[in-house]
Amino acid sequence: MHFPKYFTSGCEPNVCAMQQIKGTSKKYFTNCKQWYHRKICGKPTVITYECCPGYEKIPGEKGCPAALPLVNIYSTLGMVGASTTQMYSDRAQLREEIEGPGSFTFFAPSNKAWESLPTEILDALVSNVNIELLNALHYHMVSRRLTSEELKHGSTFSSMYQDAPVHIHHYSNGIVTVNCARLVKPDQHATNGIVHVVDRVITAISNNMQSIIDIDDDLETLRTAFAAAGLTTMLENEGHYTVFAPTNDAFEKIPRETLNRILGDPIALKDLLNYHILKNMHCAESIVSGTPMETLQGTMLEVGCDGEHMTLNGKAIITKTDQLATNGVIHYIGELLIPDSAKTLLELAESSSVSTATRMFVEAGLTPHLTGSEALTMLAPLNDAFKGNVMRKLMSNHVLKEQLSSKALYHGQELETLGGLKLRVFVYRKNLCIENACIAAHDKVGRYATMFTVDKVITPPMGNIMDVLKADDRFITLVNAIQTAGMTELLNQQKVFTFFAPTNDAFNELPQDERNRLMRDPQHLSGVLKYHLGESMLVSGGVSSHTRFQTLQGEKLELGLRNYTVYVNKIPVADADLMATNGIIHAVNSIIRPLREYRVYNIELWIRYSKGGQRAERWTCSSSQSHSRFQGEKGLSLCQKTFSQII
């Protein structure tokens, strides 16, 4: 999508559209197909139309069909909103030159650009019109015709003032700048060249970025830091960098202990400074919306704008923009940007949405581990993961004894915590989980350690599946059923199981006669329980829509996720992720039945045998079976025959 040129297609002929940000003086000429959804820098815009320069309306006809003859550059200045430049051209005796023969490009400051010039600078120019003002105007000129298409990104052209270069940047969003001044009305053709109206008066550039930093007392701390990190040479050499320069006040806002630690650590200091430098040059006027931009430190900064203000990571902390150097541009900022790579574990947590976990880590006495130089990994639960009372001693099991990357984790891996426990890793198609908690954000890699944000408080297993069930009064009936079905030994084995465990309420929900028959029939009871059990480890975070789970009974369960609740065959899981050493338990308050079948208790079936005879039979079934499952003796063996008569 591009801003730059006047358009003559898509709307009426030779009509130019102008997009102005409401409440500001910022204007962008654009075509009617490229309005950025009527917003620039997050602010609504107003669209107005006018005849493109060089054209005018004819009564009764659409658009602006009448083409006016081209005039020289001097006269063009008066037609395109640069009458102040035209006036100063008169005073500096430049008029004859730009009315006469030749081919020129004039980057002409708009009337508002002259008004915005500091009074002392403007007075100095107009008090010496024959030298200073003439030189300033010549610096806005190139002795050849250059259309906006020929103004390539990163190019320089010799101006008509001592061949001093003007620096062009043509950004991917269509914005074109010359010495960071935006072309607001490009490509205004004249008989002896072309005029590009710009939004500010430009000046010659002679200093590199290091020289600018050296002479500015407001950047004294930054100057010292660059020298200590060995980055001075880079700022003196050729390049096209953007430096967000923290002022002395910005450094003073950082806690002294934190600042001294970083300034005394060459690696952290270099990371911090490189986090303030973009790989490419970006003038303030090139920004029309929030855009992630890569820093020399390797991570991204969100560079954006809010109305007329440039922003960093969504904050309007830029105090001065576009201090142009020969090798880049400097924007002054009032806050120091500290990258994750220069932070301790505690600082990583404090700058993230895990304030409850941070407080719990501190209260658990883990501060020395979180502020030191140990290679660790913190598993920090989100704030809303803390429900009820969480024992502080659990927090030591949220810190791993080594620094890890989530990308290096694999299924079945065991991770040792500061508390001495081993935590298991589970890898699913859409989630990566450690015990019952799944990683909820990208890794935050600090100076020595890493932080994983997780969605739950980790509850390490306190025994095998039978131990967990016996310790929970909700499963008294289930424990008796497991013993009746002869499955105790199975669930004590060191395999890996997922058990959708029916609670007492699930059994009590059954009609009493059905429940009694079920509990008296070990074989049938075993089949029902095995339909709730599978030999794999599935935490709730591993469930997505239409997840299928193979049971020991042989059939598959249909799992889904809705409003953060897991459903199994459309039955909600009442309490998920009860961890065991040999698996996981999910409590359900209903007996799970096959989805495609419905409950049948007393149903009369007609069976036609191959010999041609017929028999009327009544069967009582304690499980859910469809008519089709009852066809033949094999299906009927699942139920109990209560009546039979040959007819």
DSSP for 103-133, written as a single string: -EEEEEEPHHHHHHS-HHHHHHHHTTIIIII
* Contact partners, residue 420, CB within 8 Å, separation at least 6: none
The pLDDT of residue 274 is 97
The pLDDT of residue 111 is 95
How would residue 50 be classed by pLDDT, with cut points 50, 70 and 90? Answer: confident
User: Residue 624 pLDDT > 50, yes or no?
Assistant: no
Pairing of strands 497-502, 328-333: unpaired
Render pLDDT for 488-503 as a digit per residue (tens, 0 to 9).
999 999 899 999 999 9
What's at 366, amino acid-wise? Answer: L
The pLDDT of residue 283 is 94
Reduce the secondary structure of 406-436 to three states and give it as a string: HHHCCCCCEEEECCCCEEEEEECCCCEEECC
How would residue 619 be classed by pLDDT, with cut points 50, 70 and 90? Answer: low
The tokens of 80 are what? Answer: 């395109």
User: Residue 32 pLDDT > 50, yes or no?
Assistant: no
Q: What proportion of the chain, given as a percentage, has pLDDT over 90?
A: 72
The pLDDT of residue 11 is 64
Pairing of strands 602-608, 614-620: antiparallel
User: Residue 143 pLDDT > 70, yes or no?
Assistant: yes
What's at 395, amino acid-wise? Answer: M
The pLDDT of residue 581 is 95
Q: Which residue has the higher pLDDT, 53 or 530?
A: 530
* Enclosing H/E stretch for 88: helix 83-91
Rounded Cα distance between 62 and 17, Å, is 15
Give bridge partners of residue 615 from the DSSP assignment: 607, 646
* Contact partners, residue 239, CB within 8 Å, separation at least 6: 327, 328
* Greatest CA separation for the chain: 125
In this structure, of 28-37, 240-249, 308-317, 452-461, the range with the lowest mean pLDDT score is 28-37
The pLDDT of residue 242 is 97
What is the average pLDDT value for the chain, to the nearest integer? 88
User: Residue 10 pLDDT > 60, yes or no?
Assistant: no
Per-residue pLDDT, averaged over 169-193, amounts to 93
How would residue 174 be classed by pLDDT, with cut points 50, 70 and 90? Answer: confident
CA 428 vs CA 151, 409, 411, 434: distances in Å = 51, 12, 8, 11
Q: Is the dihedral of CA 72, 77, 78, 81 positive or negative?
A: positive
Q: What proportion of the chain, given as a percentage, has pLDDT over 70?
A: 88
The pLDDT of residue 2 is 38
User: Residue 599 pLDDT > 80, yes or no?
Assistant: no
Render pLDDT for 202-258 as a digit per residue (tens, 0 to 9).
999 999 999 999 999 999 999 999 999 999 999 999 999 999 999 999 999 999 999
Q: Which residue has the higher pLDDT, 223 or 62?
A: 223
Of 211, 145, 201, the residue nearest 178 (C-alpha): 201
Render pLDDT for 457-472 as a digit per residue (tens, 0 to 9).
999 898 999 999 999 9
3-class DSSP assignment, residue 96 = helix
The pLDDT of residue 26 is 76
Per-residue pLDDT, averaged over 24-41, amounts to 64
How would residue 604 be classed by pLDDT, with cut points 50, 70 and 90? Answer: very low
The pLDDT of residue 603 is 46
Of 277, 127, 118, 279, the residue nearest 203 (C-alpha): 118
Rounded Cα distance between 139 and 461, Å, is 75
3-class DSSP assignment, residue 197 = strand
Per-residue pLDDT, averaged over 66-93, amounts to 94
In this structure, of 44-48, 253-257, 283-287, the range with the lowest mean pLDDT score is 44-48
User: Residue 607 pLDDT > 90, yes or no?
Assistant: no
The pLDDT of residue 421 is 93
Rounded Cα distance between 641 and 647, Å, is 17
DSSP 261: H
The pLDDT of residue 252 is 96
Of 52, 53, 49, 24, the residue nearest 39 (C-alpha): 24
Of 130, 118, 54, 52, the residue nearest 88 (C-alpha): 130
Rounded to the nearest 10°, the torsion over CA 593, 596, 601, 607 is -140
